[in-house]
Amino acid sequence: MNTGMSGSAGTAVSQQISHSVMNRIVEELSEEERKRLVYLCGALDSERCADHVREMLLMLMEQEQMNRQLLMELMVRMQRYDLLKCVLNTTRTEAERLLKNSNNLSEYRILMDELSENLSSSDLKSLVFLLRGTLPTEKAEKIECFLDLVVELERLDLISSSRMEVMEQNLRAIHRVDLARRLSQYQSRAERPEHKPTMKNTLWRPCLSATPNSLSGIPPTSCGKRQVLSRPCAASAAVLQRSSISQRCERVEDEYRMQSRTRGLCVIIDCVGTEGVFLQQLFESLSFRVSLHSLLSVQDMLSTLQDVSKQREHYTADAFICCIISRRCSSGLLGTDPRGSGLGLDYIRQLFTPEFCPGLAGKPKLFFIQSYEVSGGPQGRGRAQIWDYEDGELETDGPAVASYRPEVLPADADVFWSHCSTEEHQLKMVNHRSVYLQSLRGELQEAQRRRIHMVDVHMAVNGAVYDHNYKHPRSSYSVNLRHTLRKHVYFC
| 27, 151, 159 from 33: Cα distances, Å | 11, 16, 22
Contact 105, 66 (CB under 8 A): no
The ranges assigned to domains in the chain are: 7-105, 108-200+235-253, 264-387+396-483
Q: What is the pTM of this model?
A: 0.49
- The yes/no answer on whether domain 7-105 falls in CATH 1.10.3130.10 is no
Dihedral sign computed on CA atoms, order 131, 134, 138, 144: negative
Count CA atoms closer than 13 A to 78's CA, side-chain side.
25
d(CA 387, CA 341): 10
163-193 burial code (b ≥16 CB/10 A, e <16): bbbbbbbbbbbbebeebbebbbebbeeeeee
Between 30 and 271, the more confident residue is 271
319-329 and 332-335: which strand pairing?
antiparallel
Identify which of 160, 169, 9, 193 has the alpha carbon closest to the alpha carbon of residue 96. Answer: 9
pLDDT band per the 50, 70, 90 thresholds, residue 15? low
CA 107 from centre of chain:
23
User: Does pLDDT of 467 surpass 70?
Assistant: yes
- The yes/no answer on whether domain 108-200+235-253 falls in CATH 1.10.533.10 is yes
Q: What is the DSSP letter of 160?
A: B
pLDDT band per the 50, 70, 90 thresholds, residue 76? confident
CATH of domain 264-387+396-483: 3.40.50.1460
pLDDT tens for residues 188-247?
876 655 444 443 344 444 333 333 333 233 333 333 333 333 333 433 344 344 444 444
DSSP string covering 210-267: SSTT---SS----TTS--PPPPPPSS-HHHHHHHHHHHHHHHHH-B----SSS-EEEE
d(CA 163, CA 185): 12
pLDDT band per the 50, 70, 90 thresholds, residue 303? very high
pLDDT tens for residues 42-71?
766 555 566 667 777 777 766 666 677 788
**According to the model, what pLDDT value does residue 6 have?**
37
Gyration radius from the chain CA atoms: 27
d(CA 475, CA 10): 63
Question: Is 108-200+235-253's fold the same as 264-387+396-483's?
Answer: no
Between 297 and 61, the more confident residue is 297
Identify which of 350, 58, 86 has the alpha carbon closest to the alpha carbon of residue 204. Answer: 58
pLDDT band per the 50, 70, 90 thresholds, residue 457? very high
d(CA 317, CA 56): 49
Identify which of 359, 272, 283, 355 has the alpha carbon closest to the alpha carbon of residue 321. Answer: 283
pLDDT tens for residues 163-176?
888 888 889 888 88
Which helix H or strand E contains 480, and what residues bound it? strand 478-483
Between 361 and 18, the more confident residue is 361
d(CA 294, CA 300): 10
